[in-house]
């Protein structure tokens, strides 16, 4: 399964989601999942948000080299599942490439078991509260996403 995380700039939310999933699939030795991230409005080559690097470091995850990149049609075609952070991201992707609609979902739907979909707000340049909120939402959503994927793969 190929998973693509998409946010606005590919330096905070989608970067964090990608790093968390990569860490988990390495720990689980799960070779059936590939992951990448991109931004709708990214400045290619931009480094990741240092507050997200600090968060990863506190979790014992070494931040890999990362440079922001703009999403391409090839990325969208590669992905089996495209997880966006906001409803607006989904709308933009569906406008760009109408044929990908079914595989675009908001990551926020994995935050709670009732699958009530929430946007994960962009913390970049905002208060520590906004960072903690986004980090906790993304961490919880990733945990539930992987649980869902791995349990469905063992059932098949």
Domains of the chain: 2-155 (3.40.50.2300)
Collapsing DSSP to helix, strand or coil, 111 comes out as coil
What pLDDT, on the 0 to 100 scale, is given for residue 153? 63
Give the residues across from 84 on adjacent strands: 6, 106
Q: How far is CA 143 from CA 21, 23, 56, 86, 146, in A?
A: 9, 11, 15, 19, 5
- Higher-confidence residue of 153 and 82: namely 82
> 2-20: per-residue pLDDT in tens?
999 999 999 999 999 999 9
- Predicted confidence at residue 72, as pLDDT, reads 98
For 15, what's the count of Cα atoms within 13 Å in the CB-facing half-sphere? 31
pLDDT tens readout for residues 30-59: 888 999 999 999 999 999 999 999 999 999
Q: What's the pTM?
A: 0.94
Residues acting as catalytic residues: 7, 13, 122
Residue 41 CA to residue 6 CA, distance in Å, equals: 10
Average pLDDT of span 120-140: 96
- The whole-angstrom separation of Cα 149 and Cα 1 is 9
Where does the pLDDT of residue 66 fall: very low under 50, low under 70, confident under 90, or very high at 90 and above?
very high
Only one residue has tokens 């990733």, namely 142
């Amino acid at each position: 399964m190929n998973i693509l995380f998409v946010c606005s700039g590919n330096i905070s939310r989608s970067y964090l989601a990608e790093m968390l999933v990569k860490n988990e699939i390495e720990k689980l030795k799960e070779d059936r999942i590939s992951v990448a991230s991109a931004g709708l409005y990214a400045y290619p080559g931009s480094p990741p948000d240092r507050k997200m690097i600090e968060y990863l470091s506190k979790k014992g995850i070494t931040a890999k080299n990362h440079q922001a990149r703009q999403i391409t049609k090839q990325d969208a075609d590669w992905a089996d599942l495209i997880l966006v952070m906001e409803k607006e991201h989904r709308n933009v992707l569906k406008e760009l490439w109408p044929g990908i609609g079914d595989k675009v979902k908001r990551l926020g739907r994995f935050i709670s078991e009732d699958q009530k979909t929430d946007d994960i707000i962009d913390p970049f340049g905002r208060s520590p509260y906004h960072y903690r909120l986004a980090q906790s939402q993304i961490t919880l959503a990733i945990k539930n996403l992987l649980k869902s994927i791995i349990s469905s793969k063992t059932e098949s």
